[in-house]
Structure 1
Amino acid sequence: MSSPAEIPFLSFIHLDRDTKTPIYLQLAQQLINAIQRGYLVAGIKMPGSRTLSELLKLHRKTVIAAYEDLHHQGWIAIHPNRGAYVMDNQTKINERPYDALVSLASYPSQTGYAFKQSNILDNPFEQSNCTYQFNDGTPDIRLTEIKQLSSLYSATLKRKNTLKKIDNPLYTGNYFREQLSNYLNSSRGLHISKDNLLITRSSEVSLYIIAQLLVEPNDVVVVAELGLFTANMVFQKAGANIKTIPIDEQGIDVDQLAEKLKTTKIRAVYITPHHHYPTTVSLSAQRRVQLLQLAQSHGFIIIEDDYDYDFQYEKSTIMPLASADVNGMVIYVGSFGKSLTPSFSSGFVVAPKNFINEMQKYMGILDRQGDIVMEQVLGEMIAEGDIHRHLKKSLKIYQERRNNCCALLAKHFGHQAAFNVPNGGLAVWLEWNIPVSLLQLAKVCQKKDLFIPQNILYQNRKTTAMRIGFGHLTIEEMKNSLEIISSSLVQ
Structure 2
Amino acid sequence: MLSLVSLLQLEKATQTPVFVQLSNQLGQLIRAGTLKPGQRLPGTRQLAQGLELNRQTVVAAYDEGLAQGWLESRSGSGTYVAAHFPDVVPQPLETDSLPTNEPPSRVDVPGFAFETIDFLLRPLLTNSSGLHLDDGFPDIRLAPMDELSRAYRSYFRWGNPQQHFGYATTKGHPLLREQLSQHLNETRGLRTTPENILITRGSIMGLHLVCQTLLRPGDTVVTGDTTWAGAVMNIRKAGATIQTIPVDQHGMDMDVLADICQKQPIRLVFVTPHHHYPTTVTLRADRRIRLLQLAEQYGFVVLEDDYDYDFHYLSRPILPLASADRKGMVVYVGSLTKSVAPAFRIGYVVAPTTLIDELARLRRIIDRQGDPMLEFAIGQLFKTGELKRHFRKALRTYQARRDCFCDLLTQELGDTVQFTKPDGGLAVWSRFDPKVDMQSLALRAAQNGLFFSNGLSHNPPEQQLYGTRFGFASSTEAELERSIAILKRLL
TM-score (norm 1): 0.81
Question: Structure 1 pair 48/240, CA: closer, same or farther in 2 (3 Å)?
Answer: same
CA contact 1:203–1:347 (8 Å) conserved in 2: yes
Q: How does 1:41-440 map to 2 (within 5 A)?
A: 47-49=48-50, 51-53=53-55, 55-56=57-58, 98-100=92-94, 102-103=97-98, 105-125=104-124, 131-161=130-160, 164-170=163-169, 173-336=173-336, 338-433=338-433, 435-440=435-440
Question: Structure 1 pair 11/177, CA: closer, same or farther in 2 (3 Å)?
Answer: same
**How many residue pairs get matched?**
438
Helix, strand or coil at the partner of 1:476: helix
CA contact 1:135–1:456 (8 Å) conserved in 2: no
TM-score (norm 2): 0.81
CA contact 1:12–1:34 (8 Å) conserved in 2: no
Matching residue's letter, 2:231: A
CA contact 1:128–1:451 (8 Å) conserved in 2: no
Matching residue's letter, 1:156: Y
Question: Structure 1 pair 229/4, CA: closer, same or farther in 2 (3 Å)?
Answer: closer
Question: Structure 1 pair 373/284, CA: closer, same or farther in 2 (3 Å)?
Answer: same
CA distance in 2, matches of 1:8, 1:417: 63
CA distance in 2, matches of 1:28, 1:368: 38
Q: CA deviation at 1:171?
A: 7.5
CA contact 2:454–2:468 (8 Å) conserved in 1: no
CA contact 1:416–1:432 (8 Å) conserved in 2: yes
Helix, strand or coil at the partner of 2:156: helix
Helix, strand or coil at the partner of 2:281: coil
Matching residue's letter, 1:147: D
Q: CA deviation at 1:413?
A: 2.2
Question: Structure 1 pair 98/268, CA: closer, same or farther in 2 (3 Å)?
Answer: closer
Q: CA deviation at 1:103?
A: 4.8
CA distance in 1, matches of 2:306, 2:440: 33
Q: CA deviation at 1:439?
A: 1.1
CA contact 1:130–1:446 (8 Å) conserved in 2: no
CA contact 1:409–1:482 (8 Å) conserved in 2: yes
Bigger drift between 142-151 and 243-252 goes to 142-151
CA distance in 2, matches of 1:431, 1:277: 14
Helix, strand or coil at the partner of 1:283: coil
Identical aligned residues as a percent: 36
Structure 1 residue runs of 5 or longer lacking an equivalent are 15-26, 38-45, 70-95
Q: CA RMSD in A?
A: 3.2
Question: Structure 1 pair 417/53, CA: closer, same or farther in 2 (3 Å)?
Answer: closer
The higher radius of gyration belongs to 1
CA contact 2:170–2:364 (8 Å) conserved in 1: no
CA contact 2:170–2:363 (8 Å) conserved in 1: no
Bigger drift between 313-322 and 334-343 goes to 334-343
Helix, strand or coil at the partner of 1:366: coil
Q: CA deviation at 1:435?
A: 2.4
Bigger drift between 364-373 and 28-37 goes to 28-37
CA contact 2:120–2:233 (8 Å) conserved in 1: yes
CA distance in 2, matches of 1:232, 1:297: 25
1:32 to 26, 29, 32: 29
Helix, strand or coil at the partner of 2:211: helix
Deviation string for 1:396-422 (max 9, x for gaps)? 110000000110011012233322111
Q: CA deviation at 1:164?
A: 2.3
Matching residue's letter, 2:166: D
CA contact 1:312–1:424 (8 Å) conserved in 2: yes
Say if 2:471 is the partner of 1:469.
yes
CA distance in 1, matches of 2:25, 2:332: 64
Matching residue's letter, 2:49: G
Question: Structure 1 pair 127/366, CA: closer, same or farther in 2 (3 Å)?
Answer: closer
Q: CA deviation at 1:130?
A: 6.8
Helix, strand or coil at the partner of 2:223: strand
